[in-house]
Every structure is written in structure tokens, then in C-alpha cells.
Structure 1
Amino acid sequence: MHNAERPAPASASYRERLSPSLWLIVSAAVCAPMAAIVFAPVDGTWALVIGLIVGIAIVVALIASAPRLRVDGTQLRVGRAHIDVSYLGTPEVLTGDEARAARGRDLSPNDWHLLRGGIDGVVRVPLTDENDPTTRWVFSSRTPERVAAMITRAQRGR
């Protein structure tokens, strides 16, 4: 009889892409007719083709370059930055006026932040590592309650 160990159950994870708002995408798409106008004196057909290519390229670049937010195992990843959840304190969920203040007047120069326009929710997490000059992580999320719950769950090791 074969006695193989069963793999540990995969830890719960959270993933979110902080994609640009619809208004930003529509605004970026306005570059298509602008590019077409520039090339219109050369050739009308080529101007339309180039305008379409420019518009599509800008929209695709905006979506593809959108940062990702992930909680995997014991790591919190926001954009390119990552930190072990053992160095984090209790996450704070902010929406509405509190979120606006956190993105503006309450944002400390010692905070690490990744904030996106068009995303109302903000998660603010204090750092407990005394050797780190950063005091808190402040970042946008469309579902800040879920992010905070996943960070807390990862901290408990479930």
C-alpha cells in the first residue's frame, strides 16, 4: 500500500485588478480621432486605420498595466510591492469621506501608497516592523472589506 502525504489545502487567496475607470478608458479612446486628424492630410483611409490602432493600443495598455492586488498565503502584494502579513497590523477599511481624507490630507509622507482614481475604497494597514521607515500601507480596492478580511485571515494562518 502506498502511503503518500496529502498536499496541504490551498490557502485562501484574494485577487483584484485595479483597472482604470470607465471614464478614463473613454477619455483615452479620444486619442483615436486626434491621431486620425494628424494623418488625415496624408491619406484618409490610413488616417482612420492609424487612429483605430492608436485608440486600441492606448486602451489595451491602460488595462494591461493596471496593478494587481493579491493576498496569497502569507504575502500581501499590491502592484510590484509585497510584504509578509506578519509585519502588518490590523487593516482599516475606509470608504466615502474617510477614503477621500486617507487619499489626501491624512496621507503621510511615510506611508507607502498605491491609489487609483475611480476606485472609492481604501485599505490602510499599519506596519509593525520597527526597522521599516514606512508606517502604513495605503491602497485602493473595490472591495476593501474582503481585502481586510483576507489579510486578517492570512495573519491567523488559516
Structure 2
Amino acid sequence: MEPSAARYDERLTAPPSWWGIAALIAVAGGLITLPMGPLPMLGGVIGAGALAAAGVSSYGSARIRVVADSLVAGEARIPVSALGEAEVLDAEEARAWRLHKADPRAFMLLRSYVPTALRVEITDPDDPTPYVYVSTRDPKALAAALNAVRAA
């Protein structure tokens, strides 16, 4: 595998039900503008639908990658050398780390519609962030990719 190739790549896409909600928002935009006539109603459908679709697409475009020697989670790029042991979290543990176990200083890329996650300690003494919490549909594969980079 070439050094620049991603060892792990996942996009946290929004579930289909969210797209259904975006369609309902488009219908609501049309209903709101219906008293103004057919052209404003069409504009309301298109405008509300476009805004709702843009919101769902934007929220569902978060990517998690392990590239070269870094974990890229959303906008964050963290060198694997600054990461400690990875902890695979099942749905129950992931929920606990999102709620009562959460540290406000932690970096969290979480999506409520992804039940499982990976929690990785930050070992850099100069970084006040205690850990990275990343929602992922395949936490074992992400942990394996991080371990493979660490071993290389």
C-alpha cells in the first residue's frame, strides 16, 4: 500500500429517514407559501427543500480517515504518535461516554444516528485534550488501522 493511501475511510452519512424529513420540510415550505399563489408555492417548495437538503448533506458529510500517520476526524488532523490506546465502544458504552462520562475538554466527532464509537486517549503532554471520541460504524476496523500505523 502506498504511504498516501488511506488505511481507513468512512463517511458518516445521514440515515434515509433524515432525507424523508427534508422532503417534509419542502412540502411545509410549499404549504406556507400556498396562499400567495402557485409560483410562490413552487418557490417555497424549492427553497425549503434546498435548505433542508443542504443541512442534511452537510451534517452527513463528516469523514473519518487514517491517512499516512494521522487520524483525520472531520476537520481535525491528529498524529498517531500523539494517540494512546484505542477503546472500542459498543452502543451502551458509547452512549455513556456521550453523556455522563464525557469530558468537556475532549474532541468529539459524534453523530447521534451512529450507535458505536471509538475512544482514543491523547498522550501528548502539551495537549489539554484528554481523549478523542469518534462515532464510527466499524470501531474495530478503525482501531486496527490506528494500530497498523503505530506498528509501522
The bucket for the TM-score relative to the shorter chain is: 0.7 to 0.9
Q: 5+ unaligned residues in a row in structure 2: which ranges?
A: none
User: Which residue among 9, 16, 19 is the counterpart of 2:13?
Assistant: 19
Contact 1:122 1:138 in 2 (8 A): yes
Deviation string 1:36-83 (CA, Å, 9 cap, x unpaired) is 012211222541353145324422442245211111010101110111
Contact 2:89 2:119 in 1 (8 A): yes
Contact 1:21 1:117 in 2 (8 A): no
Please report how far the alpha carbon of residue 35 of structure 1 lies from its aligned counterpart in structure 2 after TM superposition: 0.6
* % same residue: 31
User: Which residue among 142, 149, 152 is the counterpart of 1:147?
Assistant: 142
Between structures 1 and 2, the one with greater helix share: 2
Deviation string 1:93-128 (CA, Å, 9 cap, x unpaired) is 101211111111111122111110110111000011
TM-score (norm 1): 0.85
Q: One-letter code of the match for 1:145?
A: K
**Compared with structure 1, are the counterparts of its residues 9 and 79 closer, same or farther at alpha carbon in structure 2 (3 Å cutoff)?**
closer
Between structures 1 and 2, the one with greater strand share: 2
1:34 maps to 2:23? no
**Compared with structure 1, are the counterparts of its residues 34 and 150 closer, same or farther at alpha carbon in structure 2 (3 Å cutoff)?**
same
Please report how far the alpha carbon of residue 23 of structure 1 lies from its aligned counterpart in structure 2 after TM superposition: 2.5
1:75 maps to 2:70? yes
Runs of 4+ deviating beyond 6 Å:
none
In structure 1, how many angstroms separate the alpha carbons of the residues matched to 2:71 and 2:139?
A: 13
Contact 2:6 2:65 in 1 (8 A): no
Please tell me whether Structure 1 or Structure 2 has the larger radius of gyration of its CA atoms.
1
Over the aligned positions, Cα root-mean-square deviation in angstroms equals 1.9
In structure 1, how many angstroms separate the alpha carbons of the residues matched to 2:112 and 2:21?
A: 13
